[in-house]
Amino acid sequence: MILKKAAVIGYPVKHSSSPKLHNFWLKSYNIKAEYGFLETKPEDFEKTILSLKDSGYVGVNITVPYKENAFDIVDMRSEAAINTGAVNTIYFDETGNMQGTNTDPYGFLRNIVSSQENFEFKAGKAVVIGAGGAARAVVAALVVDKATDVIIVNRTREKAEDIKKQMQGLGAGKIEVANWNERNDVLEGANLLVNTTTLGMEGQPLLDISLNKLPKSALVNDIVYKPRETQLLRNAGLRGNQVVDGLGMLLYQAQLSFKFWFGIEPEVNDILREYILATNN
Ligand code: ATR
């Protein structure tokens, strides 16, 4: 029997948790497949993608720095890929077309909803800190899928403006951009605060923000999951806000990729969470 293959493609790629996650599920569901690392130099990227099918891959994840390059190469793009301008998952459909999608918006939303089942996205505006790749997924999910108004605050204002320019009008939610020094003030009246920057991650500076103006009813989500309880989440929790940590976004984006490749929605549970945290160094 031919062993099915999947992998994560990036450069560098060894830091990725995806192989651990997917191999955990492959073993749990007794699927004869393996998920590896495909560290690929920029000059080899296109060739590697175009030879995936012939090399026996059911699909791949794409990580830094190739999510935008992958978008250009695939045969067809999902709405999530188009909304974010990035592809993190490639799979082949029944006719053999190379499909590109982005499972990060789904991962973000499912993480929130799995923790706060009745969260009302449209009850107020969302403040998104950051304007990198992760912010694109979060803003697309909010503005397009949840019709939520968003304020993006980023140190480099231009990058937030770029997201606004690309996504405004794609969904019912409106996008505003604020300056970095307005990050405390824009929290007034917000219903959701999401940190998409690397600030607060182990080895990185903390996110310097005052939550004084944030309503106590707002939900606070950090997509940083190392540490699982960031200082932002700790401070938010101490003043009475509901908080959702970032590990679930990683797990749920993987869940949807796995479903595209293997036809099963694998379970996200505490055993998996603990396994990933224990082996994540
Ligand atoms: P990802 O694709 O994971 O979102 P990224 O594209 O490198 O990562 O984006 C990192 C985000 O963290 C950016 O919004 C970045 O702000 P800039 O666009 O101004 O670079 C933000 N960030 C990183 N270090 C920061 C710092 N010291 N202060 C403020 N923002 C920071």
Question: How does pLDDT run along the chain (281 residues), one tens digit per residue?
Answer: 678 999 999 999 999 999 999 999 999 999 999 999 999 999 999 999 999 999 999 999 999 999 999 999 999 999 999 999 999 999 999 999 999 999 999 999 999 999 999 999 999 999 999 999 999 999 999 999 999 999 999 999 999 999 999 999 999 999 999 999 999 999 999 999 999 999 999 999 999 999 999 999 999 999 999 999 999 999 999 999 999 999 999 999 999 999 999 999 999 999 999 999 998 76
pLDDT of 280 reads 78
Instruction: Calculate the alpha carbon distances from 224 to 98, 102, 171, 246 in Å.
Output: 31, 19, 26, 5
Split into its structural domains, the chain has a count of 2
Q: Looking at the DSSP assignment, which residues form a beta bridge with residue 8?
A: 37, 61
Please tell me the distance from the alpha carbon of residue 103 to that of residue 127, in angstroms, as a whole number.
Answer: 21
Q: Are residues 110 and 221 in the same domain?
A: yes
Question: Same structural domain for residues 120 and 13?
Answer: no
DSSP letter for 185, please: G
Cα(199) to centroid(ligand 1), Å: 8
Q: Is the CB of 269 under 6 A from ligand 1?
A: no
Distance 47 CA to ligand 1 centre (A): 30
- Rounded to whole angstroms, the Cα distance separating 249 from 138 reads 10
Q: Based on the domain organization, do 241 and 178 belong to the same domain? A: yes
* Rounded Cα gap, residues 25 and 135, in angstroms: 27
Are both 114 and 228 inside the same structural domain?
Answer: yes
Please indicate, yes or no, whether residues 74 and 117 belong to a single structural domain of this protein: no
148 contacts 108 by C-beta, under 8 angstroms: no
Query: 134 C-alpha vs ligand 1 centroid, how far in Å?
Result: 10
- Do both 231 and 266 map to the same domain? no
Ligand 1 neighbour 197 (Cβ under 6 A): yes
Do 111 and 241 lie in a common domain?
Answer: yes
Tell me the CATH number at 54: 3.40.50.10860
Residue for token pair 């651990």: 20
The residue annotated as part of the active site, out of 5, 47, 67, 164, is: 67
- By CB atoms closer than 10 A (0-12, 13-18, 19+), residue 236 is buried
**Do 138 and 240 reside in the same domain of the chain?**
yes
Structural contact between residues 211 and 237, judged by C-beta atoms closer than 8 angstroms: no
272 with 239, same domain: the answer is no
pLDDT of residue 281: 65
Residues 253 and 240 in one domain: no
135: domain CATH number is 3.40.50.720
**Residue 269: per-residue pLDDT:** 97
Domain range holding 221? 105-245
Ligand 1 centre distance from Cα of residue 238 (Å): 26
pLDDT for position 1: 65
Are residue 53 and residue 111 in the same domain, yes or no? no
Q: Are 142 and 126 in contact (CB under 8 A)?
A: yes
Residue to mutate, 138, 198, 250, ligand 1, most ligand atoms under 8 Å from C-beta: 198
User: Domain check: are 109 and 241 in the same one?
Assistant: yes
Q: CB atoms < 10 A from the CB of 20, how many?
A: 15
221 Cβ below 6 A of ligand 1: no
Q: Which two tokens stand for residue 107?
A: 């991962």
Q: Does the annotation mark 14 as catalytic?
A: no
